[in-house]
Chains A and B, each alone.
Chain A
Amino acid sequence: QSALTQPASVSGSPGQSITISCTGTSSDVGGYNYVSWYQQHPGKAPKLMIYEVSNRPSGVSNRFSGSKSGNTASLTISGLLAEDEADYYCSSYTSSSTLVVFGGGTKLTVL
């Protein structure tokens, strides 16, 4: 069982918006602004999409945005494209000796 809880799957049609949640505790998501989101296509390495809750790395589309409220972080993808179909993982710094915990991943299907 992963330390952070994500829905196993979400889906949306092209052009729509979807939101993926990531729930932790006050020892990780709720206690720090060190939440990141990663996109992983099949057979590929994960790619950083959002860091420190809501920052986008250079080159990442502004269709991707992040937010946090209490112990739950969220990734929103607007204007869905077929290429957005992938697995998405959240992560957070944790005050435990594990240092970083991940969610179990969410499979996004673009219908």
Chain B
Amino acid sequence: EVQLVQSGAEVKKPGESLKISCEGSGYRFTTYWIGWVRQMPGKGLELMGIIYPGDSDTRYSPSFQGQVTISADKSISTAYLQWNSLKASDTAMYYCVTPLGITLIRGVITGVGRFDPWGQGTLVTVSS
């Protein structure tokens, strides 16, 4: 069974750093993209970015470029989402996802079929 298991909830202060994780199992980790989706309290879903663990090719949504770092360690089948300096507005639930049906033409992503499966979510609370 394909599964994504995320690290536990975090409570941090503004300005602190944080790295949350997502371990994939039940499939060949290096051959599927993995992504992060943010859900702010009471709000909808936003794709933050995706990474291909095989070669660490990373694509960020413009709203999140420069705000977070997405990385992966293929030796332990784990993807990460990292902040260097948290803000109160980073308070949200973060889900890792497997984007399937990605099509690439000369390095340009021309299609993303669906997100399946999803991790269970990591709640990040940033408060002074």
Contacts and interface: CB of A to CB of B under 8 A. Distances in A.
B62 interface: yes
A2 B44 contact: yes
Contacts of A38: 45, 115
Given A91-B45, A104-B44, A57 B116 contact: yes
Residue among A46, A51, A100 with the highest chain B CB neighbour number at 10 A: A100
Contact of B114 (A2, A32, A48, A102): A48
B76 to A, nearest CB: 22
B120 A45 contact: yes
B79 interface: no
Interface string A39-68: 000000111100110000100000000000
Contacts of B17: none
A69 interface: no
Nearest to A93: B112
B113 A97 contact: no
Contacts of B47: 98-102
Contacts of B113: 34, 36, 51-52, 93
A45 B95 contact: yes
B43 to A, nearest CB: 8
Contacts, number: 69
B50 A99 contact: yes
Contacts of B61: 97-99
A57 B118 CA distance: 14
Interface in B11-38: none
B109 interface: yes
18 contacts: A34-B111, A36-B113, A36-B114, A38-B45, A45-B95, A46-B45, A46-B118, A48-B115, A48-B118, A51-B101, A51-B116, A52-B101, A52-B114, A98-B47, A98-B61, A98-B62, A99-B109, A100-B112
